[in-house]
Amino acid sequence: MPGLFDKKDFVCVHRGTDPLEASLLRGLLESEGIPARTSGEELVGAYSGVPRLCDIRVLVPARYETPARGVLKAYEARAPGAAEWTCAGCGESNESTFEVCWSCGAARPDRPEA
């Protein structure tokens, strides 16, 4: 998606479809002293209700890439259910943050009901 973010000294350390997650990760990086920013949120409004078309990125200055990846790796390691899940109804892959399938609306299968 050229043009959305053109500063070449920034590198993308996370790609996803969830602007809330991207915002959370940015806050996490900033709390570690890493000046992070996100791009792509503007697409959410343009394609509201169709999250798979969104391409949210978390970017950091190139010199912070290594520590940033370490922070994100630690976050992902302790985040519950961080892996994508596959819908039993239609077979599509869903982001770990989705409670229902983006494609057919089926409930997440491996999540115990309260």
Residues that bind Zn ion (CB under 5 A): 87, 89-90, 92, 101, 103-104, 106
- Looking at the Cβ atoms of 44 and 106, the one nearer to Zn ion is 106
15, β-bridge pairs? 57
Q: Is the Cβ of residue 35 or residue 89 nearer to Zn ion in the bound state?
A: 89
Report, in Å, the least distance between residue 53 CB and Zn ion: 17
What letter represents residue 39's amino acid?
Answer: S
Name the residue nearer to Zn ion (CB basis): 38 or 94. Answer: 94
Q: Which is nearer to Zn ion, 28 or 106 (CB)?
A: 106
CB of 12 closer than 8 Å to CB of 6: no
In whole angstroms, how close is the CB of 16 to Zn ion at the nearest point?
Answer: 19
In whole angstroms, the minimum distance from the beta carbon of 95 to Zn ion comes to 13
Q: CA-to-CA distance for 54 and 109, rounded, in angstroms?
A: 24
Min dist CB 109 to Zn ion, Å, is 10
